[in-house]
Structure formats: C-alpha cells, structure tokens
Structure 1
Amino acid sequence: MNTPANPDSALREPNGPLSVGARSFEVGGIAQRYHVYGDGPVCVVHSGGPGIFWEYMRMPLLERHLTMVYVEPIGTGGSGRLPSHPHGYTRDRYSRFLAVLTNRLGVEKVHLLGHSHGAFVAAYHALHRAERLAGVVLYGGAPVTGPEHGEEAGRRVQEFAAKYADHPGLADVLAAFGAMSSIADDASTLAVARGVLPSYFADYWGNEERFGPVRDAVRATYVSGLDEDLCPDVIDDRAALKGLDLPTLVVVGRHDVICGPRWSRELHELIHGSRLVVLENSGHLGHIEEPEPFRDAVLDFVTDTL
C-alpha cells in the first residue's frame, strides 16, 4: 500500500472548496451538496441507488490518505430536487453536476469512485466528461442494465435464498425484493432498501452485530429511474467501454448478488488496461465488509495513476 502526496494546501483554507465539512453550490438553481473528509489527493465518490443517501459510503481508512469528496446526489438529502422529481435523474444529469463539482474543486485532476448505480454514473462520466479525471473506480457496477442484468441478479438471489433457506429472516428479504416493482414513494424506497440489505453482505446474519447498524442507518429517497419524458434510462455501455482511454479500477465482492463478479469481469475485459480486484469475503459493500483490502486496492491505484 502506497501513501500519495498531499494536494496544494492552499485549497484547504477555511471555506475553500476542499475544506473539511459540508459544502454546496448551485447549478441552474438546484443545490449540489458534497462533504469533504481527509487529506491527500482528491477522490470524488458517487453513491448508489439511485436515491440512496451518501452516508453509507464513508470510508475512514481512505480518509487517512486521500481527500474524500462524497457527493450528495441531487434528489437526496440536502441537495436540491429537479422540477420533474422523482423523474429526470439520468446519468447525463448526474454527470453534468459532477463536471461542475470537479471544476470547482480547483485541482487539475481527481479520481472518481462510483458504487452500484454510482458506478454506472462514473462510467458515463469517464466516457463523456473525463477531462478532469486521473482515473475511475467502478465499484459494484456492470456494463448493462435491463433484462439480462435482471436475470443474472435473479439467479444470484436464488443462490442466496438456497444458502439461507433455514434462516427466519429470509422471508423478509425475499418479500422486499418482490416489492421492488411497486416502489412509488420515499417510504417504500426506504423499506425495500433496508429489507434487501442482508443479501448485500457476504454473511449479514453471521455478523449482524457489526452490520445491523449499517442497515438501520440507510436513508433513501424515491427516484424513478425514468427521464423527464418518463422513459427508462436504459444502459448498455459495452461498445463504448472498448474505447475508454482512462486508467480504470474495477472492484467487486465475490458474493455480490446485484452486480456480481460476472459483470466486473466483463467490465475488465472491455476496458483496455483496467485492473480487477475481487474481494473474496464481500458482497455488494466491500468497503464495509473488507475495509483494509478495499483501501489497499484504491490507494495503490490512485498512487500509480497520479
């Protein structure tokens, strides 16, 4: 594990764009809020969902070596909502806000780390607005959404169900998956997010004392996944990713049921020169389950691509 050098200290002055704490700015009258922790080269983090609040992405071990800039995605928390809310939160929209943020930070290059749906956003940003990027981390992502992705996730959930067939909590997890298609408001979004979460860990019930507080702390807002015209923001990046010319790290948990190793292997094969790290004892939340290996993978990548 390498320790990168610190950024220009002038950028860390009180009330500067990289001063520690919550910061915000406006784009077209919509507030974009973000949170800064740590010191060192800048890593911008985009959380998943869409609609999951940013806090679950806190990575204290990386904050010891990097300036972690956690984006509070528009439509969630203290960031503003689109006039078309809960619709209109496309990857292009998120990417445009990321472009303004990275320009405002005042450093020549940043690394971008996207988790889950945030990995789809990060891939889009790397393909279309990479000018300020030194590298991109696609964590728990995939090159496609739609039926093929859904079928693979369904297969992985069935494997999870077979593994925990005798556990009394399984019925609630499967009920939450069944309720995904009927999500229509903040309350149902939160209920499903917390309901499915045991399946997002390699062994939630064997470590419930450790992971239960993570589940209880999850917050979420209903984001439809449709654009302003109520059309799905369907993703298939396979062709485009073959031309991606940006250092890329792909990270996945061996037991991830939502965006499992199949998809990360495909991302790795599509993106020339990419690195692939598989966390052997993690599900979809490797930065929580295996924080040290996750930290080492990201730090080594950042150091090598500065």
Structure 2
Amino acid sequence: MATDPLSAGEHLLEVDGRPQWYHVAGRGPVCLVHPGGPGLGWEYLRMPELETHLTVVYLEPIGTGRSARFDRADDYSIDRYTEFLGRVLDHLAVPAPLLLGHSHGGFVAQTYALSRPERLGGLVLYATSPATGPDFWTAAVTNVQLFPQQYPDRPAAADIPPAFRAALTADTDAAYCEALRRLLPVYLADPWGERSLLEDVQHGLRAWVAPSRAQEPRPFDVRASLAGLTVPSLILTGAHDFICGPRWAQALAAAIPDARLVTFDDSGHLPHVEEAHTFAATVAGFAHGRQPGPN
C-alpha cells in the first residue's frame, strides 16, 4: 500500500482506531470528493475526465466499502461524516484544497466549510441543497410519483414509484442496492436516450442500507449560516434533477456571498456522467481560478 498520502491508488487512514479508506487518481490541484447517499459507494462518482486536470481524492464514506461501521444507524450523522472528512483533509496536509460534495455529501461539505473555512481553497456544492425538511422531501416524492407520466411509452418508467418504496423499506444491502439500481432512471435527464449510460451507472452502483436509515435530530438547514461563508464557492445543478434541482441550487447561490451557479441543461442528478466533458471543464476552471462553464 502506498505511503505517500497523495500517491495514486487506495489508502487506509485510521480515525480513532476505525478504518477510513480513500482513493487517489489524476494529477494537478487536489480535490477531495465526498459521495452522496448516504450509503453509496464512491465508484458512482468516479470522474475520469476531471482526473486529467486535478488530483481527485475520492472518499469511501463511513458505512460503505471497507470504511468504518457503527452499531446504530443514527451514528451515521452529518457531524460524524464531517469528522472523518476533516481527518482525511488533515492527513493529506494540502494547503487550500478543493472540496466537492455531491448530494448528501454536499451537506457534509457545507458543514465542514462552515466549521473550518480556513482549511479550504474552494468549495463545490454539486447537486445538493442548503436544507432538507418537509418542502424538500415532498417535492422529491412528488417528482418520483409523476415520473411515469413523463414517459408513458416506456413501461419501465412505471417501476420508478415501486422502486422508490422498495429503497425506503429495504432491510439488506442487496435489496437496497437492487432498489436503487431500479430507481436510477429518475436520476437522469434522458435515461433511455443513451442506454449504455444508464446501464453503466447501474452496473457500477454499490450501496449499504445502514447509513440510509440514520435519523438526524433535526432537518438539515444551514441557510442562515451560509451568509458568513468566506470560501470561494461553485454551485452545480442539473436542470432536470428530481431531488436537488435548480430550486435548491438557487437557494444556495442566494445564501452564499459571491457564489457561482452553473446549471447543466441536459442533466439530472448526475451531470458528471450526463455531461462529463463540460462538467470536468467547469470544475477544473474553477479550481484554476477561471470562470466556470455555461449558465
């Protein structure tokens, strides 16, 4: 196993005696990436095009892969994820790295940036939101229920609401992962336009159910705190994202001083897959201090 914390390959860090794995690829300025879920393996967020511009450090979140496990689902809290993320950043010892958080990983990234802004050179909030709660979840569930109506000629679209319910009630890792694979079409802007894209994401998806069952003591909401955030911030959203779409990206942009907002018109929740080239150029441009891509 590599001893240089930024050498290419997989790395193991012990955090208070518990394993925290991460993976390094690419070269250039360092960008630490926290996946979403909670409970998703890091592989779905692999960004080969971005690796041609940056050294990308993919965190293997607690509760997934070979990283730490906890006895209670509620131990997988945003604060706990933030603690492990911070220990990895300290271990890397890189001045002013970029931090990218996708979806639930964006909640973790916001929490870390608010607590230790001096450690970061930039923040990328990707397909995420500054708040959850009744409005957030009602809108997401409504979009799931309406999905079959968008594709009346696609029998597979009718499976999306049942797949969503199956994901909520799954009690094994295998059942949870299978339900999410069935649910993946709702995450894409054009799930059947390029069949290989959907199949590739489904094939690479791994998931663990325990972290998904965690209950925070209160809904996530950092809107009031973001006004004091001093870290340069880039906000990325897909125009067709059913759960963390433009409404929530605009809320982030309104809350964070001088934040840049980029909308990917042909994407849902996964622009790094759906518009990979533009996505990589946008993040790399931000990392190198240039203006991001098209709005």
Superposition TM-score tier, normalisation by shorter sequence: over 0.9
CA distance in 1, matches of 2:194, 2:32: 29
Q: Percent identity?
A: 46
CA distance in 2, matches of 1:233, 1:58: 31
Letter in 1 for 2:3: N
Deviations 1:141-162 (A, max 9, x none): 0111121101111233344322
CA distance in 2, matches of 1:23, 1:48: 20
Note the C-alpha offset of 1:45. 0.3
Pick from 47, 64, 88 the counterpart of residue 75 of structure 2: 88
Summarize the Cα distance change of 1:288–1:248 in structure 2 as closer, same or farther, 3 Å threshold.
Answer: same
Matching of residue 205 in structure 1 with residue 192 in structure 2: yes
Matching of residue 135 in structure 1 with residue 122 in structure 2: yes
Could you tell which deviates more after superposition, 177-186 or 46-55?
Answer: 177-186
Matching of residue 116 in structure 1 with residue 99 in structure 2: no
Letter in 2 for 1:274: A
Q: Which residue of 1 aligns with 2:180?
A: 193
CA distance in 2, matches of 1:202, 1:137: 21
Note the C-alpha offset of 1:24. 0.8
Q: Which residue of 2 aligns with 1:283?
A: 268
Can you give the 5+ residue segments of structure 2 that lack an aligned partner in the other structure? Answer: 291-295
Q: Which residue of 2 aligns with 1:269?
A: 254
Note the C-alpha offset of 1:138. 0.5
Q: Which residue of 2 aligns with 1:75?
A: 63
Could you tell which deviates more after superposition, 26-35 or 240-249?
Answer: 240-249
Could you tell which deviates more after superposition, 174-183 or 235-244?
Answer: 174-183
CA distance in 2, matches of 1:37, 1:271: 30
Summarize the Cα distance change of 1:207–1:233 in structure 2 as closer, same or farther, 3 Å threshold.
Answer: farther
Measured on the aligned residues, the alpha-carbon RMSD in Å equals: 1.6
Q: Which residue of 1 aligns with 2:293?
A: none
Q: Which residue of 2 aligns with 1:47?
A: 35
Matching of residue 145 in structure 1 with residue 132 in structure 2: yes
Pick from 151, 173, 178 the counterpart of residue 165 of structure 2: 178
Deviations 1:116-145 (A, max 9, x none): 111111111111122321111000001111
Note the C-alpha offset of 1:209. 2.1
Q: Is the 8 A contact 1:44 1:71 kept in 2?
A: yes
Letter in 1 for 2:226: L
Pick from 141, 144, 163 the counterpart of residue 157 of structure 1: 144
Summarize the Cα distance change of 1:49–1:248 in structure 2 as closer, same or farther, 3 Å threshold.
Answer: same
Number of corresponding residues: 289
Letter in 2 for 1:120: F
Summarize the Cα distance change of 1:219–1:210 in structure 2 as closer, same or farther, 3 Å threshold.
Answer: same
Note the C-alpha offset of 1:292. 1.1
CA distance in 2, matches of 1:231, 1:156: 24
Matching of residue 61 in structure 1 with residue 46 in structure 2: no
Note the C-alpha offset of 1:172. 1.6
Note the C-alpha offset of 1:223. 2.8
Give TM-score, length-normalised by structure 2: 0.93
Deviations 1:179-222 (A, max 9, x none): 23323331232122112101101111121123212112211001
Q: Is the 8 A contact 1:225 1:232 kept in 2?
A: no
Matching of residue 304 in structure 1 with residue 289 in structure 2: yes
Note the C-alpha offset of 1:252. 0.5
Q: Which residue of 2 aligns with 1:249?
A: 234
Letter in 2 for 1:90: S
Q: Is the 8 A contact 2:239 2:266 kept in 1?
A: yes
Give TM-score, length-normalised by structure 1: 0.90
Q: Which residue of 1 aligns with 2:113?
A: 126
In structure 1, the residue corresponding to 2:75 is in which secondary structure? coil
In structure 1, the residue corresponding to 2:287 is in which secondary structure? helix
Q: Which residue of 2 aligns with 1:9?
A: none
Q: Which residue of 1 aligns with 2:10?
A: 22
Letter in 2 for 1:292: H
Matching of residue 217 in structure 1 with residue 204 in structure 2: yes
Note the C-alpha offset of 1:178. 2.2
Deviations 1:2-33 (A, max 9, x none): xxxxxxxxxxxx62000100001111111000
In structure 1, the residue corresponding to 2:118 is in which secondary structure? coil
Can you give the 5+ residue segments of structure 1 that lack an aligned partner in the other structure? Answer: 1-13
CA distance in 2, matches of 1:66, 1:42: 6
Summarize the Cα distance change of 1:224–1:21 in structure 2 as closer, same or farther, 3 Å threshold.
Answer: closer
In structure 1, the residue corresponding to 2:121 is in which secondary structure? strand
Q: Which residue of 2 aligns with 1:10?
A: none
Q: Is the 8 A contact 1:110 1:132 kept in 2?
A: yes
Q: Is the 8 A contact 1:90 1:225 kept in 2?
A: no
Letter in 1 for 2:128: G
Note the C-alpha offset of 1:225. 4.9
